[in-house]
Structure 1
């Protein structure tokens, strides 16, 4: 594999022997997972905690502009302090309770999106709350210049750029170290979700970010003057979201299945390619999970729709968060049934090609031919050979699992 590819995160407690590890093997942690942060989700409504965490000297803020993270290089994120962001977020956005913020809601006031990510417990002496919750606090902040924060944001951006930092264009950023990638993934997912959901899906009125960036609420009143009637009372029309148990909307995660398909004899893997991919670059098949469909059913349906192959047994291997914008990749391995292995691309025109590859050809490609879509393969790659996704992609891990004997034994060639 290419030397430029970062290491994968370590799974939880890999050194422990247990009944499950003996039965199913070591857990696989995919890129974008493995965050070092304890999310302490139950403290997101605790504004005294958030206020203290916000201003602590050990606190780190990851900045975004137009969903692009601030970096020192393509392999290192840049963090700033409370002092740097205070001109943008104000003295303390958590000084009032959520209840009071909802009562005083004014949709005409622009509030930069701030998200509390969690505590880095590797730094236990950094910050303590109630003698129990310890670690360096982490936040993500969108400083895209707009509205009243434009001047302060542009000043901070200029200051960071003068220090050699920049906002990294693109989306995937697969060169970050594993722990940094996990922090980036959570930050981008939540900032993107908040930006995409400024209005209530039921009544269409503006919503307010609460729970430290993890939820949005539709306030019952709005102090902003109405365009049609400036003197109208602040109360909003009735909204169905206020009649249920909780008046909240939550971050969206779309489940996606991605699968390594093994031939019935266990000697070949099915791979496909899209027209936009580089020549000879193939990967595993994938698709969205549909309503009222199990993971196993989705795997069988997607494989048949895209390739015409009929699958029997399907097992889940591992999962990978994929914040582009909000997917959870559910990695599976399925085996074709005897007589159901003829490829037919006529059902769904998504693939340009699909074919069966021998295990040894894939084994060699995993060794020398992996890369991102826009990158060159490893130095030992020979022109004309099969090319595959890098190890940061769950597709790579699924193929490696099959090649490595995940099905119980080395495939017989």
Structure 2
């Protein structure tokens, strides 16, 4: 039975700081650890964006219905396109105008252009050295630089065909041409088999494209919005050129609260979620649960959304009690994981149950879990060694029916479970 290779996690370099000496290496989870410098403060600089977009070393990730273009390999590799290859869809520089000029020229009658995201600068040629992708066209080609920043510019383009206009037709043709080269749009990104650097970059692109697609209308007034700021902002234009003759005066749109002062209605949202490994009061067992959608014998850590006016620690205690009936005392933050499905930040924690009745399991509060159990450290340790896989992955050869199955190493749940098996709760308690 074929099992896809397990992707490696990002690894942050050690340092000699006091924090590193006391707490060790920082945990970095899958979908984090992007090698690109986002230089986010330059997304409003159209001169920077325009120069980066038109530079020969610029590379573009095509995304169709949130699926990235990849090489058909095992594991898959992101396929980066050149500006010449994307020219049929985006022939001109989309960043020629300032944000203010783009807003003033808004015309709701025109077919919208594909959204172009600026992902960042690859300052160390990470992708070319890591996966064999050439970021420069010739040996003599100069690197891109702007002020004190340099590196190959990386973008993502949403080529999802929408509607029946000319631009949609060009997008369909580009999608067809890309797959004709033997490439494919990878629709199973949740299997988490991309390399860690590529997963982080794709996660950034996926989250932003999904947010843009979900917010075509203003939450304040219901009128159509416009993507600006290299895909990182949607604005509600005050005027519209629809139906206006050439060189005519734009028509005023209805008033909108988002145009007054500072408003977060037009910026990407991230939904915080707590996910936690819960250990018994004596530290010898781990609480794991399973939902109805899990494969047989597959268990994981508990998780849930953070509510307004609630701290991370409070959310951990509430979610564990609501889902399993177990009462948690002390909570310690472990690590976090961006989860672009569609826009979650998984805040990983370790909690310890209170002794006695605090460890009693009761599933009558919240029907989310089908089952919850306390597993010994030895049971969990063995499963970590032999029985980890994604939800849709087949069991490994030699699997014994009934044995515990756990999420793969690329899931933060696995990292939390591994941490308590290795004594994270003992170390943190001794430092309090």
TM-score bucket of the superposed structures, by smaller chain: over 0.9
Q: Structure 2: how far apart are the matches of 1:246 and 1:351?
A: 38
1:5-404, aligned counterparts within 5 Å?
5-11=6-12, 13-14=13-14, 16-73=15-72, 74-109=75-110, 110-123=112-125, 126-130=143-147, 132-146=148-162, 147-225=165-243, 234-245=251-262, 249-339=266-356, 340-379=358-397, 381-404=399-422
Secondary structure of 1:53 counterpart = helix
Secondary structure of 1:320 counterpart = strand
| Residue in 2 that maps onto 1:406 | 424
Secondary structure of 2:44 counterpart = coil
Asked if the contact 1:217–1:247 (Cα under 8 Å) also holds between the matched residues in 2, the reply is no
Asked if the contact 2:61–2:157 (Cα under 8 Å) also holds between the matched residues in 1, the reply is yes
Decide which moves more: 145-154 or 35-44. Answer: 145-154
Q: CA RMSD in A?
A: 2.0
Per the alignment, do residues 248 and 264 of structure 1 end up closer, same or farther by CA in structure 2, a change over 3 Å counting? closer
| Residue in 1 that maps onto 2:132 | none
Unaligned runs of 5+ in 2: 127-141
Q: Structure 2: how far apart are the matches of 1:136 and 1:100?
A: 27
Decide which moves more: 181-190 or 163-172. Answer: 163-172
Q: How many residues align?
A: 403
Q: Structure 2: how far apart are the matches of 1:245 and 1:404?
A: 46
Shift, 1:92, TM fit: 0.9
Per the alignment, do residues 248 and 259 of structure 1 end up closer, same or farther by CA in structure 2, a change over 3 Å counting? closer
Q: Structure 2: how far apart are the matches of 1:165 and 1:266?
A: 49
Asked if the contact 2:219–2:265 (Cα under 8 Å) also holds between the matched residues in 1, the reply is no
Q: Structure 2: how far apart are the matches of 1:232 and 1:41?
A: 34
Structure 2 length-normalised TM: 0.89
Q: Structure 2: how far apart are the matches of 1:245 and 1:4?
A: 46
Unaligned runs of 5+ in 1: none
Q: Structure 2: how far apart are the matches of 1:360 and 1:18?
A: 34
Asked if the contact 1:218–1:248 (Cα under 8 Å) also holds between the matched residues in 2, the reply is no
Q: Structure 2: how far apart are the matches of 1:380 and 1:60?
A: 44
Shift, 1:233, TM fit: 6.4
Shift, 1:410, TM fit: 12
Asked if the contact 1:10–1:29 (Cα under 8 Å) also holds between the matched residues in 2, the reply is yes
Secondary structure of 1:407 counterpart = helix
Per the alignment, do residues 48 and 316 of structure 1 end up closer, same or farther by CA in structure 2, a change over 3 Å counting? same
Q: Could you report, residue by residue, the CA deviation over 1:6-27 in whole angstroms, capped at 9, with x for unpaired residues?
A: 110012x32x122111222211
